[in-house]
Chains A and B, each alone.
Chain A
Amino acid sequence: MSAVTTTAAPSANLAQRGKGAFLGLLAWAVGLLFFLPVAWMVLTSFRSESDAATNPPSLTAPLTLDSYREFFGGGASPWPPLINSLTASLLSTLLVLVLALPAAYALSIRPVKAWRDVLFFFLSTKMLPIVAALLPIYLIAQNLGMLDNIWLLIILYTAMNLPIAVWMLQSFLAEVPASVIEAAQIDGARLPVILYRVIMPIAGPGIAATSLICFIFSWNEMLFARVLTGVTAQTAPVFLTSFITSQGLFLAQMCAASFAISLPVLAAGFAAQDKLVQGLSLGAVK
């Protein structure tokens, strides 16, 4: 880059800079265009219902908290579904970590012989479509009396996220240099100390990112939740589906509900931004 600018004539330099500024503006325009629906959702959620549904749209209509008041205090309370979603997402993420951390350890730091094959077996289960397992799971749950029970979702979400978590954690744990562990062993450190003092500090951010991604996938899941829960174990995305065929003025409230339910994921995703790519690409992209 620098070679070009120093050898080029001044006029070419100016053209180069003009082109650079244009491409920068273009990037901003595209970014804003992709963000527009999210921004418009937030803006609409603070409108009154009659201001939300105008054509052409209004940028200057007054802001109000009415739709949030209606959403949280109106007819069907969103709190039980939100608490169910939080319970299912947090507990399943915790279970995933309990199962996946030792497994990832046995696939990276102190690997079993066929660790690659095992790793690929984990990944292959992720490629089986959820919908094909739906009916047997429904029947089994029915026989065990587990329908409409939040624990059923916790177990299913654990199974759903386990393969990804094992892959991600394996790639994060593999980043811990073997020499550091050996040095600690030579110093006489025992396994718990090595885990806590050596491995955790290095793999900690990766473990956090893995947890966030598992949390996001559990929080977003709708098909299992819709088929297997009813009233008591209903989750937030299922609650949202009540807006599919709403009649009358409901746009502001729908935006408020969508924003409120997406907020934990948006927060978690932005927090884990840097590790998001590595996680989502199963550790193949650094």
Chain B
Amino acid sequence: MSTSPTAAPPQSSGADAGRNDSARRPAAARRASVWARRAPLLPALIFLIIMTQLPFAATLVISLFDWNSLYPDDRAFAGLANFGEVLSDADLRSSVLTTIILTTTVVLASLVLGLAIALLLDRSFRGRGIVRTLMIAPFLVVPVAAALLWKHMLFNPEYGLLNGSINWFAGLFGIDNPIQPDWISEMPLLAVQISLVWQWTPFMMLILLAGLQSRPGDVMEAARLDGAGNWQMFRYITLPHLRRYLELGGLLGSIYIVQNFDAVFIMTQGGLGTANLPFSIYQTFYQAHEYGLASAAGVLVVIGSIILATFALRVVSSLFSEEGSR
């Protein structure tokens, strides 16, 4: 909304100014002015290129070697053998599947929950600001601490709050031995998913709430006067308006959750079928010292990320130009 008058004019006025300059000034001065424009950009750009592109180039090179740091003398060029090994490795393949399941379920669940809560918070009621603040808190707990809290304080089968509450409620109804599940052993992936949904729902809620509050008021009023019911309003006005916010939340959430390491590392140590790709790569490199193999897996993750990023960038870019054109 507000980028349109702001982002576009500086660009056009800047371009106009550049054209006027070029008509009057000689070529050398023009070049100097172009570089004066670029100069503030260069330190950040160069730093980022060095810090991101070089390591990935190195990963690509290492992925072609048979290299285990425990046997440094056996390092040899292996061609694409590592990639074959990665693709035929059952553990790594299952971690690809785990990553996909973990990311999609967590993103979808937090989007749906976030939308429901954003709809609740969009109405005015007593203490709305306080509830909004309470809702943000889970996102602001350090991820390592959040995973520890879920593992020990909430999911522990003996003294965790979850089983404790079941026991307490059962006691109210005079039930002696209520079920006391060992959450993490019995449903490891679900346990990780729940802890991540708890952390990411506030994020989605914040984005969707901002979306709800930017709905055009006149359209809503007109629809009301035309006798639209709540469901019709939601289905035909709110949901289409929210589409791009849902996409944005989903994509940003995916970028972070695909890379999630902390929750898996802390809650299950990658055991019980919860190892995702970041954890498997960490383990291949840090515990098994298989540098070549870890790099090959890393290259495959990068390729996957590029595919994901292409979609993500397209969505962000369409948001960007949509805002610019309005």
Contact = CB atoms under 8 A, between A and B. Distances in A.
Contact of A133 (B39, B41, B56, B211): B56
A135 B294 contact: yes
A255 interface: yes
Contacts of B41: 102-103, 106-107, 112, 118
Interface in B122-144: 123, 125-128, 130-144
B25 interface: no
A64 interface: no
A25 to B, nearest CB: 8
Contacts of B55: 132-133, 136-137, 140
A56 B164 contact: yes
Contacts of A153: none
A280 interface: yes
B142 A178 contact: no
A139 B9 CA distance: 47
B174 interface: no
B98 interface: no
Centre residue among A31, A32, A107, A261 by max chain B CB count within 10 A: A31
A55 B167 contact: yes
Contacts of B164: 54-57
Contact of A106 (B38, B145, B255): B38
Centre residue among B2, B44, B125, B278 by max chain A CB count within 10 A: B44
Interface in B1-36: 1-3, 6-7, 9-11, 13-15
Nearest to B1: A286
Contact of B14 (A110, A137, A237, A244): A110
Contact of B152 (A23, A27, A243): A243
Centre residue among B152, B164, B320 by max chain A CB count within 10 A: B152
Contacts of B203: 280
Contacts of A55: 158-160, 163-164, 167
B305 interface: yes
B198 A37 contact: yes
A34 B135 contact: yes
Nearest to A175: B6
B229 to A, nearest CB: 11
Given A53-B159, A133-B56, A223-B282, A102 B44 contact: yes
Main SS of chain B's interface residues?
helix
Contacts, number: 338
Interface string B223-253: 0110000000000000000000100110010
Interface residues of B, number: 120
Main SS of chain A's interface residues?
helix
B259 interface: yes
Interface in B196-211: 198, 201-203, 206-207, 209-211
B38 A285 contact: no
A3 B128 CA distance: 23
Centre residue among B62, B149, B281 by max chain A CB count within 10 A: B149
A34 B44 contact: no
A163 B120 CA distance: 33
Given A138-B285, A178-B9, A251-B159, 15 more contacts: A21-B125, A32-B134, A34-B202, A56-B168, A111-B14, A127-B312, A128-B56, A131-B281, A135-B294, A140-B55, A162-B47, A176-B6, A251-B152, A254-B148, A280-B206
15 contacts: A24-B126, A27-B125, A28-B131, A30-B135, A37-B150, A37-B198, A125-B52, A133-B59, A134-B285, A136-B54, A159-B51, A220-B143, A251-B156, A262-B142, A284-B316
CB-CB nearest 3 A-B residue pairs: A24-B125, A102-B40, A132-B298
Interface of A: 1, 3-4, 20-21, 23-24, 26-28, 30-32, 34-35, 37-38, 40-41, 44, 52-57, 99-100, 102-103, 105-113, 115-116, 118, 120-140, 155-156, 158-159, 162-163, 166, 171, 174-178, 182, 216, 219-220, 222-223, 227, 236-237, 240-241, 243-244, 246, 250-251, 254-255, 257-259, 261-262, 265-266, 268-270, 273, 276-277, 280-286
